[in-house]
């Protein structure tokens, strides 16, 4: 992992309060020394968890005053009715009371099993422990929000400007139930840059559309998806010009992209990170439909797991996306590695389909690419300028094992 940069004025903690067995870290807190300009994007699932409903409500009235975020694992507090919403409010109040801040300036996030109520005695214990341990241990904080994740996910970038430097840093969790819009994932991103009202929400949506909304593991959308951006301004660097806006957005996209790729790479039972690039479509929307069809195809994902460069499955998935294109003009290429975003040339990989059929490629060369841990699939439709990229993973036997016993 690259060096992690610490944004000014934020303290964090990850503790074990009994929500998980074996004294595993299971409760996290992120606190700013001063009020933050805050933005959020949330699941579009009609069944929204209590913390999502509370977060939407709080940001509608207090987006310039948020001081803390508390995150619990083990229980999603989703489909829990009025009792669940009361527990979410009670969690925020307990955090506020302990920190000495207004409860309305506290956001909560939950992840875990749907349909169970929060064990509030353990939540209160977690709050007490977290407040006592607030510091700069971002790694423990990232670990404390994991569920079926196998690795913690954190990223940061320091941005130098003529007026000084600022940091953007974030943590995320997610491994299964991953599909836009958004995915079973939680992420908190913080910065010590100073953002104006409206800037934070606009930039978070732009970054989210390019990153977290471009990942899929299994095509299932969660009840709890939340990404938050908190800006406390303590670097004294203001985003007040067009060039400053572009610079900040680039940094934000970089952090979100690292976290998003980490989620796709750590998909439940996954062994490979896969980037799907569609280029030459009629428009970007058409390209995205095809990319999603390929990325969510169980036949494609299992072929990737088996190291089988089965171009027939890829082309069949593209063809059922509901987007018109001419297979005789399409060119399919595979390549080692990822980050070929918006690629326009196929010279970096192996062409395996063109002129309506498979090419005369060496099967050993194709299998060697599919044996890699990171793979890019590039499909050029040659009918327009539409482009799209999504990140996904393969699907192994372990995905079934994990999800067939999730509650037990």
State the catalytic residues.
184
Rounded to 10°, the helix 284-296/298-305 angle is: 60
Evaluated on CA atoms 232, 105, 147, 79, the torsion sign reads: negative
Q: What are phi and psi of 151, to 5 degrees?
A: -140, 150
Structure tokens at 198: 């409206």
**Residue 95 to residue 176: CA distance in whole angstroms:** 29
DSSP sequence for 318-342 = HHTSS----TTT-EEEEEESS--TT
Structure tokens at 205: 């949506």
- CA distance readout (Å), 227 to 1, 183, 365: 22, 10, 40
Which helix (H) or strand (E) element contains residue 226?
strand 226-231
Cα 206 vs. chain centroid, distance in angstroms?
A: 14
Residue 10 DSSP label: E
**Residue 408 to residue 405: CA distance in whole angstroms:** 5
- Determine whether 408 is exposed, middle or buried from the number of CB atoms within 10 Å of its CB (0-12, 13-18, 19+): exposed
Which helix (H) or strand (E) element contains residue 80?
none
Cα 253 vs. chain centroid, distance in angstroms?
A: 11
Locus of tokens 């294109």: 325
Q: Which of 144, 179, 116 is nearest to 28 (CA)?
A: 144
């Amino acid at each position: 992992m690259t060096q992690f940069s610490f944004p000014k004025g934020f303290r964090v903690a990850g503790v074990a309060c009994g929500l998980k067995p074996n004294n595993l870290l299971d409760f996290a807190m992120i606190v700013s020394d001063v009020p933050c300009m805050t933005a959020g994007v949330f699941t579009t699932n009609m069944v929204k968890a209590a913390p999502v409903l509370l977060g939407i409500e709080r940001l509608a009235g207090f987006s310039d005053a948020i001081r803390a975020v508390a995150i619990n694992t083990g229980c999603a507090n989703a489909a829990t009715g009025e009792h669940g919403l009361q527990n979410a409010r009670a969690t925020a109040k307990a955090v506020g009371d302990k920190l000495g801040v207004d409860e309305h300036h506290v956001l909560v996030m939950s992840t875990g099993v749907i349909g169970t109520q929060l064990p509030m005695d353990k939540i209160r214990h977690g709050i007490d422990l977290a407040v006592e341990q607030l510091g700069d241990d971002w790694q423990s904080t990232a670990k404390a929000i994991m569920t079926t994740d196998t690795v913690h996910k954190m990223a940061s970038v320091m941005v130098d400007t003529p007026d000084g430097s600022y940091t953007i840093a974030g943590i995320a969790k997610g491994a299964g139930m991953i599909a836009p819009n958004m995915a079973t994932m939680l992420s908190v991103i913080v910065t010590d840059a100073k953002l104006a009202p409206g800037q934070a929400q606009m930039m978070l949506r732009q970054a989210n559309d390019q990153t977290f909304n471009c990942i899929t593991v299994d095509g299932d959308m969660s009840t709890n998806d939340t990404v938050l951006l908190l800006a406390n301004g303590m670097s004294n660097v203001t985003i007040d010009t067009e060039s400053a806006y572009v610079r900040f957005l680039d940094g934000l996209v970089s952090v979100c992209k690292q976290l998003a790729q980490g989620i796709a790479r750590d998909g439940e039972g996954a062994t490979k990170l896969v980037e799907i690039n569609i280029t030459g479509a009629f428009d970007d929307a058409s390209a995205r439909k095809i990319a999603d069809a390929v990325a969510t195809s169980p036949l494609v994902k299992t072929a990737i797991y088996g190291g089988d460069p089965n171009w027939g499955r890829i082309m069949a998935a593209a063809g059922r996306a509901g987007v018109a294109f001419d297979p005789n003009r399409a060119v399919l290429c595979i390549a080692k590695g990822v980050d070929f975003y918006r690629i326009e040339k196929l010279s970096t990989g192996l062409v395996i389909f063109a002129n309506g059929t498979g090419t005369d490629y060496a099967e050993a060369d194709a299998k060697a690419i599919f044996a890699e841990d990171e793979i890019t699939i590039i499909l050029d439709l040659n009918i327009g300028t539409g482009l799209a990229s999504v990140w996904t993973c393969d699907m192994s036997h372990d995905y079934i094992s994990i999800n067939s016993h999730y509650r037990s």
